[in-house]
Structure 1
Amino acid sequence: MDAKTTPYSTRQLTTPAIRHLAWLCRAPQLLQSPLTFEPASYLPDGITEQLQAWDEKPEIAPALLRETPQKRLGFYFEQLYRVLLEDLLGWDVLLQNRQIQSHGRTMGELDFVVHNRSEDRIEHHEIAIKYYLGVPEQSGRTLWYGPNAKDRLDLKTDRMLRMQSQRTALPEARALLADAGIAEPVIPRIFMPGYLFYPAGTQVIAPESVPASHLRGQWRYLSQIETSDLPGWVVLNKPHWIGPWRQSEPPAPNAVTAALNTIERYNIPLLFAKLEEDSISGLWQETNRFFVVPDSWP
């Protein structure tokens, strides 16, 4: 069994950025489409050993993994993705975050244009890491909102498929590629890992466009939280929404109480993880995660 099929645990890795990268390599996605890009299909043999070597000797890891993780989740996610492409897959990033301009107006941006060395072709990758909470409507359908309720899964999926992934077909984008010496055709790909959070105590169905293997959590209104729920909980701060959390010290109840007060005071959702102590390592490891939202949400 080779490295592409041998399972490995991100929990074994102690450096947060390397643990996040390892999770990204095999993270289940929120979009099932012919355009979906699966990094695991291209991972070279020895990937587990490579990640472990970087974890044991961070000084030999790519520079981006040695930096303090960015709190801006989207920016940090892009950094990890570049390491995945260049340092794990050995592909060339030809363009990143390149704006498409027309008569001084920005028409959009190309996240990544890469040389897929495995298949010797040029690809355009649009990427996003997303967290959506399912809200049942009176009509019977379920809408999946981002924590700030300004983003929705159905709208994001439509934009990814119809607009963002198709931008290299624009005349202005084709001119940009030509100026960069990039030959067509450019194959569109989408990478969108993340989680769906299901309402506690309510049955809802995920959209057909979401693979059955997607990662799941729960969400609850603040008024639904009982004191008996809280043992083992910790607040997850960005960028540690990426991948399962672990820590050496026991969860601090006072920190959770303070976080719940923050939700009420500032009317914002927060993400929590439920931890259990591993009897072998002694570490506290994530077993589930929850969003707690204000009663007025969304």
Structure 2
Amino acid sequence: MNANLAAKLINSYQTPAIRHLAWLCQTPQLLHSPITIDPAHYLPPNYPGLLKCWDQKPETAPLLLSEPPQRRLGFYFERLYQVLLNDLLGWPILLKNQQIQSNGRTIGELDFVVHNLIDDRIEHHEIAIKFYLGVPASDGPTFWYGPNARDRLDIKTTSLLEQQSQRTQRPETLALLSEFNIAGPLTPRVFMPGYLFYPTNEQVQTPAYVPDGHLRGSWMYITDAKALDTSHWVVLNKPHWIGNWYQTDPPDTTHTQDALERVEHRAVPQLFAMMQKDPATENWLEINRVFVVPQAWPGANRLASK
């Protein structure tokens, strides 16, 4: 499914959680590896019809979709992924967020252990949803920082591939799995969708392991944003970082200006969607998204470059 068709399908759902789930089913990832899993490869062709039924008749939808979103985006993302596995794919979840203990202390956690019914194998899925801003460097590679600058794409990728996804090879994990009559080690799979945000006025390097078709946005400093016409911007708050945003009302310029003032005076990055009116539906649709950051970003809190 091409990007325009996918966005049109996602925007056809009225329920935010359904839109977020539909986005999850088709979104590209930030990581290409032999162990990445593409849910779209396994989804039945009629799944959009099931989503439409849930959207029109909320009482038929999984209860997880009607619960209020958690404050942390990662927890909400996990909930959506659980619905994808259980209710769209029909794969039994054998373990979820199972802690691994060694000598009385926690040494890790398994996100999901599932039975892939199509390939008929038990798999260990590690998942994450991430948003990174590229910071150019005069000497050396570009570093891609999370909005709080305490997370970095290269570090997270290494952790997923070399540590988190390999946990079922540890003797402590094998012993844990045997308690649930699960024979390990399991087939590791990783799923990491998200966005890379590119600086508006500088060139940066995209890591070789990031697929060409990844989702993109832009980022700029607050002084640059305040010099622009932002009348078509809207504030994007979690959990609406997931999926394409649309609304029936025109953008609220006062709300946008207040958010820009918070970026400047509270030194907290803020995500915005750039909107365009669709003449066919008269709805306002997201056409791009931009992070606005304080002048001092990424600042002293960022992870060391080496």
Give the TM bin, normalised by the shorter chain: over 0.9
How far, CA to CA, are the matches of 2:170 and 2:40 in structure 1?
30
Q: In structure 2, what is the equivalent of residue 145 of structure 1?
A: 145
Q: Identity over aligned residues, as a percent?
A: 59
Task: Please show how residues 111-260 of structure 1 align to structure 2 within 5 Å.
Answer: 111-260=111-260
- Summarize deviations over 1:123-152 as a string: whole Å, max 9, x none: 000000000000001204210000000000
How far, CA to CA, are the matches of 1:262 and 1:289 in structure 2?
18
2:168 partner SS: helix
Does residue 262 of the first structure (1) align with residue 289 of the second (2)? Answer: no
Q: In structure 2, what is the equivalent of residue 272 of structure 1?
A: 272
- 1:226, distance to aligned residue in structure 2 (A): 3.6
After TM superposition, the structure 1 stretch with the greater mean CA deviation from structure 2, 39-48 or 6-15, is 6-15
How far, CA to CA, are the matches of 2:6 and 2:251 in structure 1?
32
* Counterpart residue identity of residue 108, structure 1: G
Does residue 297 of the first structure (1) align with residue 300 of the second (2)? Answer: no
After TM superposition, the structure 1 stretch with the greater mean CA deviation from structure 2, 13-22 or 225-234, is 225-234
How far, CA to CA, are the matches of 1:200 and 1:163 in structure 2?
34
Name the CA shift for 1:70/1:281 in 2 (closer, same or farther; >3 Å).
Answer: farther
1:147 partner SS: coil
Q: In structure 1, what is the equivalent of residue 31 of structure 2?
A: 31
Conserved 8 A contact 1:94-1:113: yes
* Counterpart residue identity of residue 154, structure 2: D
Q: In structure 2, what is the equivalent of residue 56 of structure 1?
A: 56
- Summarize deviations over 1:24-72 as a string: whole Å, max 9, x none: 0011100000010100000012111111111111111100111222232
Any gaps of 5 or more consecutive residues in structure 2? 299-306
Conserved 8 A contact 1:114-1:122: yes
How far, CA to CA, are the matches of 2:215 and 2:224 in structure 1?
23
How far, CA to CA, are the matches of 2:27 and 2:180 in structure 1?
32
Conserved 8 A contact 2:168-2:184: no
* Counterpart residue identity of residue 233, structure 2: W
* Counterpart residue identity of residue 30, structure 1: L
- Summarize deviations over 1:218-265 as a string: whole Å, max 9, x none: 000111114433011011000000011111111111101110111122
2:11 partner SS: helix
* Counterpart residue identity of residue 291, structure 1: F
- 1:8, distance to aligned residue in structure 2 (A): 6.1
Conserved 8 A contact 1:8-1:48: no
Q: In structure 2, what is the equivalent of residue 83 of structure 1?
A: 83
Conserved 8 A contact 1:200-1:220: yes
How far, CA to CA, are the matches of 1:295 and 1:140 in structure 2?
22
* Counterpart residue identity of residue 275, structure 2: L
- 1:205, distance to aligned residue in structure 2 (A): 2.2
How far, CA to CA, are the matches of 1:192 and 1:84 in structure 2?
14
Conserved 8 A contact 1:276-1:285: yes
Q: In structure 2, what is the equivalent of residue 73 of structure 1?
A: 73
How far, CA to CA, are the matches of 1:151 and 1:167 in structure 2?
21
Conserved 8 A contact 2:30-2:192: yes
How far, CA to CA, are the matches of 1:35 and 1:156 in structure 2?
15
How far, CA to CA, are the matches of 1:161 and 1:178 in structure 2?
24
Over aligned residue pairs, what C-alpha RMSD do you find?
1.5
How far, CA to CA, are the matches of 2:123 and 2:229 in structure 1?
46
1:292 partner SS: strand
Conserved 8 A contact 1:59-1:66: no
How far, CA to CA, are the matches of 2:72 and 2:208 in structure 1?
30
1:228 partner SS: coil
Conserved 8 A contact 2:174-2:183: no
- Summarize deviations over 1:187-245 as a string: whole Å, max 9, x none: 00000000000000212121000000000000001111144330110110000000111
Conserved 8 A contact 1:270-1:292: yes
Q: Runs ≥4 in structure 1, deviation > 2 angstroms?
A: 5-8, 68-71, 226-229
